[in-house]
Amino acid sequence: RRMDEMTASLPSPPGLPIIGNATMFIGDAEKMLKNLEKLADLAYQHKGCIKLWLGPKLYVAIGTPEDAQVVLENCLDKDVVYRFLRPWLGHGLFIAPVGLWKAHRKVLLPVFYNKVVEEYLGVIGVQANVLIERLSEQTDQKEFDVLKYITACTLDIVFETAMGERMDVQHSPETPYLRARHTVMTILNMRLFKVWLQPDCLFNLTPYAKEQKDNIDLTHRFTDEVVKKKRIEYERKKNEVNFDESTGKLRAVLDLLFGREIEFTDEQLREHIDSITIAGNDTTALVIAYTLVLLGVHQDVQEKVYLEQEAVFGDSKRGATKTDLQKMNYLERVIKESMRLYTVVPIIARNIDKDTYLPGCGVTIPAGAGAVVGAFAIHRSKMVWGPNAKDFDPDRFLPERSDKRHPAAFIPFSYGSRNCIGRNFGMLIMKSIVSSVIRSYKIYAHDIGGLKIEMLLFPINGHLIKIHKR
């Protein structure tokens, strides 16, 4: 009752006794997105926030940068909805409880500094070349879904840079490990939308529980093996009398996590590495795929991107260097605009651990509630982006058009100290890969069409493009 009274001025869609608004979250991924759009409309008729009861749990959904900023800066604990990931990712950075997260994030942060991740440009260049070669089978053919090609490429990049293991998914995608990963993701997504599968006591009665456990065990065994191998390597090198740090060999994220201020256990290392490979792969692949489709739809933008690439590379197909990437200002704006319109992490959910005042809607959210920051809604809000908010216009990100914008108006990587630790690395990968593809192929596409929301945002019909060799 206290929670309801404190948030009495917030609008709420009609609900049912006991289950509240839970019925809005029953149905397929497509229906779910439609419902979320209705909720966003209701929020914008008021002050950008609404409240929802999911059974006994109060959620406040936020659609303005002002209130998103307050939540993302002050409420660092993840919402209980992420608990489904716990058996898989344990206390890895993505879902670690705040106390542990603070200590571990401090240790992991330097591993993602620009000067460290730039060392991985060589790996990105090699995998970009494999992608270009694989795409050639689609040259001058019918429309095809480009996401599967891109996902294989980003998997190769993220695995090699996170674990130091070359997986070669682009040439051999059918491994037991990848199948297991896919199965776990499918069960997690299904659980998110089938409310009756959400309570553990019911889920454990279904065959999915065993299937999930077996497949999670398989993925754990895989990462455990890699961690064990790296631990032996580290101990051997540490004990060498003249151990030379600069062996010239590429040091993966995992290598950099040994011998740090915190001595991570093998289990903690596995949880961090699994979190990084899961958080870093599909997100990056999706942004690249959306960007390629958008370039296919907007031929004028594609031409400008191509001219920028030509100015940097001439007709060379080599991998991009750090200096090359710094010159790709227009491509960077294109990728940002793609992330704005197609926000691959459309919703960010946090636990409210202390009463928190939201200045935008003028309400204090009570401790114990959940906050759902609608990044997708904020990115398409006319109040923030103007009457043409739905149009694709990369020049919105020109410095002179961005400097007056609210700092939390653009949050594809979230905001505040618990934002995406891999955002700079993600940008390096995305710019390098789009650069390579656009230098080799001219792209054509129709509109992206309808969207559906799973853990991430997908187009219903896939990322369909046609390509011709340049």
To ligand HEM, the closest distance from the beta carbon of 91 in angstroms equals 11
Q: Across the chain, which distance is largest between two alpha carbons, in Å? A: 71
What is the secondary structure of 103-122 as a DSSP string? Answer: HHHHHHGGGGSHHHHGGGHH
Which residue, among 387, 385, 346, 410, has the nearest Cα to 33 in the 3D structure? 346
Tokens, residue 293: 């489709």
In the complex, least distance from residue 310 CB atom to ligand HEM, rounded to whole angstroms: 26
**Shortest gap between Cβ of 155 and ligand HEM (angstroms)?**
11
Residue of closest CB approach to ligand HEM:
422
Q: Interface residues with ligand HEM (CB under 6 A)?
A: 93-94, 105, 158, 275-276, 279-280, 283-284, 287, 344-345, 348, 412-414, 418-422, 425-426
Closest contact distance (angstroms) between CB of 105 and ligand HEM is: 5
Minimum distance, C-beta of residue 17 to ligand HEM, in the bound complex (Å): 32
Comparison of 60 and 93: residue with beta carbon closer to ligand HEM? 93
> Residue 315 Cβ, how far from ligand HEM at the closest point, in Å?
29
CA 378/CA 194 separation, integer angstroms: 27
Angle at 412 between CA 445 and CA 420, to 5 degrees: 130
Q: Which is nearer to ligand HEM, 12 or 284 (CB)?
A: 284
Residue 150 vs 178, nearer CB to ligand HEM: 150
Q: How big is the chain by its Cα radius of gyration, in Å?
A: 23
147, two tokens: 């996401």
Question: For residues 50 and 75, what is the distance between their CA atoms, to the nearest angstrom?
Answer: 18
Q: Between residues 428 and 467, which has the closer beta carbon with respect to ligand HEM?
A: 428
Nearer to ligand HEM, 47 or 418 (CB): 418
User: What is the rounded CA–CA span in Å between residue 37 and residue 168?
Assistant: 40
Instruction: Tell me which residue has tokens 């969207």.
Output: 451
Nearest distance, CB of residue 211 and ligand HEM, angstroms = 26
Task: Find the shortest distance in angstroms from Cβ 347 to ligand HEM.
Answer: 9
Tokens of 103: 């200590």
Considering beta carbons, is residue 332 or 466 the nearer one to ligand HEM? Answer: 332
Between 70 and 466, whose beta carbon lies closer to ligand HEM? 70
Range list of β-strands (E), 375-413: none
Residue 347's beta-bridge partner residues?
Answer: 374
Nearer to ligand HEM, 7 or 343 (CB): 343
Smallest separation (angstroms) from ligand HEM to the CB of 406: 17
Taking the CB of residue 400, how many other CB atoms lie within 10 A of it?
7
Nearer to ligand HEM, 234 or 413 (CB): 413
A 10 A CB-CB count for 190 gives 12
In the complex with ligand HEM, which residue's Cβ is closer, 396 or 418? 418
Rounded least distance, CB 76 to ligand HEM, Å: 8
Query: What φ, ψ does residue 233 adopt, rounded to 5°?
Result: -60, -45
Rounded Cα gap, residues 349 and 409, in angstroms: 17
Sheet holding 370-374, edge to edge: 49-54, 57-62, 370-374, 347-351
- CA 419 – CA 417 distance, rounded (Å): 6
Altogether, the residues listed in the chain come to a count of: 470
Q: What does DSSP say about strands 464-469 and 441-444: parallel, antiparallel, or unpaired?
A: antiparallel
Task: Count the neighbouring beta carbons within 10 Å of the beta carbon of residue 213.
Answer: 13
